[in-house]
Amino acid sequence: MNALAFAWRSLVRQPARAVLGVLGVAAVGALLLDMLLLSEGLVSSMRDLLDHSGFDLRITATDSRPGAGPRIEAAARAAAEIAALPSVRSAVALRFVDARVERADGTIIEAALQGVSEGPARPLTVLRGREIQQPGDVLVNETLARDAGLAPGSPLVLRAACTSDAEILPRITVTVSGTAEFPFETPGESIVAGSLGTLDEACGQSGAGEADLVLVASQGDAAAAAAAIQAARPDLHTVTNDELIGQFQASGFTYFRQIGAVLTTVTVTFALLLITVLLTVSVNQRLGQIAALRALGLSRRRVVSDVFFESVLIVGIGGALSLPLGILLARWLDGILKRMPGIPVDMHFFVFDPAALAMHALLLAVTALAAALYPMQLVARLPIVTTLRNEVVS
C-alpha cells in the first residue's frame, strides 16, 4: 500500500472530520479563487470593453477626463486630419451633453445625448432599424426605447443642457432611426446618439464644432499611431488603450487589487493554520501507531510522507471542489458590485483567467506543503521508545 492510498484510508476512517476539512478548504479555496479573479478582473473586463469598441486610441484636449476638461475645437476637421495619417484606420469625434427626453404624456426622462462625427466606424452597434443617415436622425438605446415607447421612425422630443450656466434651450424634435447598444452604457441609463450637427443644434450652436473626445482606430500599431498623432497635433493629448488601463489601475481600480491581495493573504493564512491544526491533532492521536510502525521498520521518510499525502488529499479534494463553488460565489459577488453607480452593463469585476486558476492551484499546493510541515516534523522526530512507553503507561 503506497503512501497516498494509506493517507486515503486514514482520512476515510474518520469521515466526519475528513469531510469537514475538505469542505472548509473548499469554502476558503472558493474565496481565494475569487480574490485572485478580482485582482485582475476589472482590468481585464475594461480592456475587453475598450478593445471590443474597435478603437485603440483616445484623444482629448488635455489630460483631463473626457467631459471634465476643455473640448477639442474644430473636432470634425481634427478627426479628418488624424484619419488621414498612414498609421490610422479611422477616427471619429464625440461630444457628450445631458438631455431631457419628453414622453408623449409630458413626463421627462433624463438621458445622455452624444454627438458622433461621420466615419467608417462608430462606437455603437445597431440592434434594430438603421444607422444615422440624414440630419435629425438619432439612435437610442434599448432602455430609452422601452421607457419612452420608441421604435424606428418614432419622433423624439428632447431639450439639451449644454453649459453650466443657467439656461433653457429650446426643444428639438428628432427622428429615431433605430436602437443601438453602447459599449459603456450603465444599467438604467438612457442614451440618444446623433450626428455632431444634431447635437450642435440641440445646444443652440453653443460650442458648435467642438468635441470632448476623438476615438481612433490604428492600423494595428497603437503606439506608432499615437506617436504620429502626437507629431501631427502636439496640442492634443493622446492615450492608447493600454495607457488608459494603466491609469485606471493606478487610481480607480486600485482598491479592488488591494483588497484582492489582502483577502488572498488572509484566506491562505487561514487555510494554512486550520489544516495544520487538523493534521497535528490527527497525528497526536496516532503517535502510538506511528511509533509501532517505526519499530516494525517503516522508514522515517515513509511515515512522514503519509502525513504529507493526507494534507495533499484534504487540500487537493477541497481545492477541486472550490472551483465550481468559486464560480458560483463570483457570480454572486459580481452581482453585488455591479450595482455600483457608473458601472457599464458589460463590465465585470470577476473575469475568468487561466493565470488566476494557475495561481490558485499553486497557492493551494504551497498551503498543502506548508500546513504539513509541522506535523511532518512531529512525526520525523518522534522518539520511538519514549512514545511506546508512554502509550503503555497511559
Partner 1 sequence: MNGSPPRRAAAPWRPRQATARTAVVLAIAASASLGLVSGAQEPVLPEVLLSRQLAAAEGLQPGDVVQLAPDADGAGTRPFRVAGIYEPVPDPAQLGSLPRNVRLHLPDLLELTRRPGAPVGTEHVATINIAVRDPADAERVAEEINRRMPGVAARPAADATGSAATFRVLQRFHLAIALVTIVASTVFLLALTIMLVDERRETVGVLRLIGLPVRRILVQVSLEGLLIAGAGGLFGLGLAVMSEALINAYFQWRYDTALLFVRITPSVAATALVIAVPLGAAATVAASWALMRRNALRLARR
Partner 2 sequence: MSAHAGDIIVQAAGVSRVFRMPAGPVTAVDDVTLQIAAREHMAIRGPSGCGKSTLLHILGCVDTPTSGTLRFGGRDVSRLPDAERSLLRLRSVGFVFQRFFLLPMLTAAENVELPQAEAGVARRERQRRSRELLEFVGLGRRADHRPSQLSGGEMQRVAIARALANRPGLLLADEPTGELDGATGEQIAQLLDRVNADGTALVIVTHDEALAGRARRILSMRDGRIDRETRR
Please state the φ and ψ torsions of residue 192, each to the nearest 5 degrees.
-125, 130
Which of 8, 270, 352, 374 lies at the binding interface for partner 1 (CB under 8 A)?
270
Stretch that binds partner 1, among 17-25, 129-137, 144-152, 168-176 (CB under 8 A): 17-25
Residues in contact with 363: Cβ distance below 8 Å, sequence separation at least 6, in sequence order: 32, 264, 268
Residue 354 CB contacts under 8 Å (≥ 6 apart), including other chains: none
| Segment near partner 1 (CB under 8 A); pick from 1-9, 28-36, 219-227, 297-305 | 28-36
Burial class (CB in 10 A: 0-12, 13-18, 19+), 11: buried
> Site for partner 1 (CB under 8 A): how many residues?
69
Residues of span 311-330 touching partner 1 by CB under 8 A: 329
Nearer to partner 1, 62 or 299 (CB): 62
Q: Are strands 108-116 and 191-195 parallel, antiparallel or unpaired?
A: parallel
Q: How far is 190 from 100, CA to CA, in rounded Å? A: 10
Nearer Cβ to partner 1 (153/324): 324
Nearer to partner 1, 6 or 96 (CB): 96
Q: Which is nearer to partner 2, 166 or 385 (CB)?
A: 385
**134 contact, one of partner 2, partner 1, none, CB 5-8 Å limit per kind:** none
Site for partner 2 in 277-306 (CB under 8 A): 288-289, 291-302
CB 214 within 8 A of CB 66: no
How many H-runs (helices) and E-runs (strands) does the chain carry? 12, 10
d(CA 67, CA 211): 9
Using the structure block, give the residue that is written with the C-alpha cell 457608473.
342
In angstroms, the Cα distances linking 165 to 70, 159, 161, 169, 212 are: 16, 15, 9, 11, 18
Place of cell 444599467: 187
Task: State the Cα–Cα distance between residues 319 and 33, nearest whole angstrom.
Answer: 10
Q: From partner 1, partner 2, none, which one binds at residue 16 (CB under 5 to 8 Å depending on kind)?
A: partner 1
Listed residue (315, 311, 293, 316) closest to 303, CA to CA: 293
Residue 333 interacts, among partner 2, partner 1, none and using kind-specific CB cut-offs from 5 to 8 Å, with partner 1
Stretch that binds partner 2, among 26-34, 174-182, 371-379, 380-388 (CB under 8 A): 380-388
Residue 71 C-beta: closest distance to partner 1, Å: 9
Name the nearest CA neighbour of 46 among 355, 357, 342, 326. Answer: 342
Is residue 62 near partner 2 by the rule CB under 8 A?
no
Residue 69 binding target from partner 1, partner 2, none, CB below 5 to 8 Å by type: partner 1
Binding interface with partner 1 (CB under 8 A): 16-17, 20-21, 23-24, 27-28, 30-31, 53, 55, 58, 61-70, 94, 96-98, 112-114, 123-124, 164, 182-186, 189, 191, 212-213, 215, 250-252, 254-255, 258, 262-263, 267, 270, 274, 277-278, 281-282, 285, 329, 332-333, 336-337, 339-342, 344
Binding interface with partner 2 (CB under 8 A): 1-2, 9-10, 12-13, 288-289, 291-302, 384-385, 388-389, 391-392
